[in-house]
């Protein structure tokens, strides 16, 4: 910590203070104009049910004084042990740590958290308190499952927020920067904070990357192609081939419509679309529109009819092929499953040669921590908001997803942007993550109620789309499911249960990492690993117990699986515009260009 303080830069400080003053005045003026009654009502009404859950917790804790006494005693013993260990360390004696950060916890990676007596003590004090608080909360008996999930989740949020790494005076890295810059980092951080509030129109919208470093069609979403068809809800992109010959059966990708399709087309080095083209696939992708109030009454069945069903007909016109290989990613995979059920009932399932599901839920019985935000009361409140404006704002859903990994996707940026005063680093994946889209009110209400609340997709006839009862057991096309071991959005054991709903051959593969990084994992990167199993037993635990761990990326396993089902049938590669569909515009198309707030 022995850093020399830099002489103040009066001109730089004056410039930053001037920007701060201008931004503050503008934000305060906008705040004064707004009607805050609905915000105050939401807070008072406890829409998330947090207050109710904690009142239930406190009443049960008070009813068990022995447990409270044990918690206090354990906390005291841990602190006494820490005090003893710290003094032994000061005197040069070996002393093991009382509390260590979890593996992968990057908050305390700075050397001073270990080597400096004071910061090591602060770190361990925090970790002890965090451990004991979360243990005490988890040990309370008699809570309803809903209250138990909410208490566990929001206690973790509270504990994470109070980490000493999140405060300037208890973060050694921030203190060093403050001394070295003469406090310029804190001034610049304040300016960054105000800029993010401006960007969020009065709400904090944390900048995760330098958005000016990316341009759609130039350095992201840049694989050459054309828009060859469109509906109100999607544009169909066909990409230029990169091989002389291609598989006869086209590959059609259905991305989720909470984000843009180009998660699968970031840079050439990690683009799944580019990789598939290089392996001889004729690739089409649905690029969903960013809906506004005009599309409020578009339902789940509209997304099916104007999405994969419309694409099926359009691809036939473009290529002359009646069959396609489908891929569905996340929510796109849920839609794919429903679409296959629809086609099976309409005796049209023969038009799909294979179906691949990327981290997709067909069963919603255990949706993980997302379930904290989805119960009857919360869905009713959300429906009220959506019906007022016609849609769910994409940034609201994005904020919920970020909370699932708050230390990585919230607090790390608070430290970098506001305490260190640094600009966020250009990162294509985080640029995509900030490019979320809205959800039409009718569609999203149907999705939350019938999938998350009632879990009806896997029930034969549980949901009806365009007058057709959906039965996934009638889906007999070969299916490839890939999930990821650390997925917080689509937990892999739940996706495994969904894979059992289908009535045909299923291959289930488990990748490393999470919902995005585990999917966007090109073989050339040589990262992570994956598990395979030729069997498909009843439970995920049975599957994993006999699975084989393999190095590298599951992409090549998928390609081998596809080769076996396409029988090597190839033809001259087809270019956009070769068939009956005319080219409408260049990829990535106009639908993908509309960013929130633009």
Q: Are 484 and 515 in contact (CB under 8 A)?
A: yes
Q: Give the chain's end-to-end CA distance (angstroms, integer).
A: 44
182: helix, coil or strand?
A: coil
Separation CA 571–CA 576 (nearest Å): 15
Q: What does the block give as tokens for 542?
A: 């049975």
Q: Are 189 and 539 in contact (CB under 8 A)?
A: no
For residue 131, give Cα distances in angstroms to 22, 46, 127, 201, 302.
43, 27, 6, 37, 48
Q: What does the block give as tokens for 137?
A: 């909360």
Q: What does the block give as tokens for 106?
A: 């990057």
- Is 12 labeled as catalytic in the residue annotation? no
Separation CA 477–CA 484 (nearest Å): 23
From the list 566, 499, 494, 504, the residue with the least C-alpha distance to 344 is 504
Separation CA 341–CA 338 (nearest Å): 5
Which stretches does DSSP call E strand in 106-181? none
Separation CA 315–CA 551 (nearest Å): 35
Q: Are 514 and 359 in contact (CB under 8 A)?
A: no
Q: Are 231 and 183 in contact (CB under 8 A)?
A: no
Cβ atoms within 10 Å of 104's Cβ, excluding its own: 8
Cβ atoms within 10 Å of 233's Cβ, excluding its own: 22
Helix (H) or strand (E) holding 510, with range, is strand 506-511
Q: Are 216 and 545 in contact (CB under 8 A)?
A: no
Among 330, 430, 540, 581, the one annotated catalytic: 330
Matching residue, tokens 């569905």? 328
Catalytic residues: 330
């Amino acid at each position: 910590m022995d850093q020399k303080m830099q002489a103040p830069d009066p001109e730089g400080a004056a410039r930053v203070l001037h920007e701060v003053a201008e931004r503050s005045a503008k934000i305060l003026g906008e705040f004064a104009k707004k009607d805050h009654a609905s915000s105050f009502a939401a807070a008072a009404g406890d829409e998330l049910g947090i207050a109710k859950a904690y009142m239930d917790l406190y009443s049960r804790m008070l009813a068990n004084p022995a447990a409270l006494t044990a918690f206090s005693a354990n906390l005291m013993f841990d602190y006494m042990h820490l005090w003893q260990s710290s003094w032994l360390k000061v005197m040069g004696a070996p002393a093991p740590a009382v509390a260590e950060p979890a593996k992968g916890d990057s908050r305390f990676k700075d050397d001073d958290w270990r080597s400096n007596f004071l910061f090591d003590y602060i770190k361990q004090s925090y970790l002890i308190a965090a451990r004991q608080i979360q243990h005490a909360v988890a040990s309370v008996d008699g809570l309803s499952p809903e209250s138990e999930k909410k208490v566990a989740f929001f206690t973790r949020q509270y504990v994470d927020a109070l980490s000493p790494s999140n405060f300037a005076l208890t973060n050694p890295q921030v203190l060093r920067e403050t001394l070295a810059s003469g406090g310029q980092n804190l001034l610049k951080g304040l300016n960054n904070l105000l800029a993010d509030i401006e960007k969020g129109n009065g709400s904090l919208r944390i900048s995760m990357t330098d958005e000016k470093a990316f341009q759609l069609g130039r350095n992201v979403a840049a694989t050459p192609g054309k828009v060859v068809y469109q509906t109100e809800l999607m544009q169909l992109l066909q990409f230029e081939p990169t091989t002389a010959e291609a598989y006869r059966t086209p590959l059609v990708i259905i991305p989720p419509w909470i984000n843009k399709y180009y998660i699968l087309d970031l840079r050439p080095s990690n683009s799944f679309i580019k990789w598939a083209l290089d392996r001889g696939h004729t690739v089409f992708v649905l690029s969903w529109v960013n809906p506004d109030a005009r599309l409020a009454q578009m339902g789940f069945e509209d997304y099916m009819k104007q999405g994969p069903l419309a694409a099926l007909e359009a691809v036939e016109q473009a290529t002359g092929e009646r069959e396609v290989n489908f891929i569905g990613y996340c929510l796109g995979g849920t839609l794919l499953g429903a679409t296959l059920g629809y086609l099976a009932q309409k005796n049209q399932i023969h038009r799909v040669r294979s179906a691949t599901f990327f981290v997709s839920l067909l069963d919603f019985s255990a949706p993980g921590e997302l379930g904290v935000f989805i119960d009857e009361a919360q869905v009713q409140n959300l429906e009220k908001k959506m019906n007022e404006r016609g849609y769910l704002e994409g940034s609201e859903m994005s904020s919920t997803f970020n909370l699932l990994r708050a230390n990585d996707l919230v607090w790390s940026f608070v430290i970098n942007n506001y305490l260190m005063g640094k600009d966020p680093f250009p990162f294509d994946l985080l640029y995509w993550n900030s490019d979320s889209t809205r959800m039409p009110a009718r569609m999203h209400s149907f999705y939350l109620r019938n999938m998350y609340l009632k879990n009806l997709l896997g029930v034969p006839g549980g949901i009806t789309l365009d007058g057709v009862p959906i039965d996934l057991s009638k889906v007999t096309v070969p299916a490839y499911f890939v999930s990821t071991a650390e997925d917080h959005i689509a937990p892999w054991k739940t996706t495994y249960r969904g894979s059992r709903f289908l009535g045909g051959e299923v291959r289930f593969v488990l990748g490393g990492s999470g919902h995005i990084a585990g999917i966007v994992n090109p073989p050339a990167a040589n990262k992570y690993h994956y598990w395979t199993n030729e069997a498909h037993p009843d439970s995920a635990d049975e599957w994993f117990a006999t699975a084989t761990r393999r190095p590298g990326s599951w992409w090549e396993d998928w390609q081998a699986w596809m080769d076996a089902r396409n029988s090597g049938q190839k033809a001259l590669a087809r270019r956009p515009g070769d068939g009956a569909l005319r080219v409408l515009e260049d990829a990535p198309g106009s639908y993908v260009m509309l960013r929130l707030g633009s």
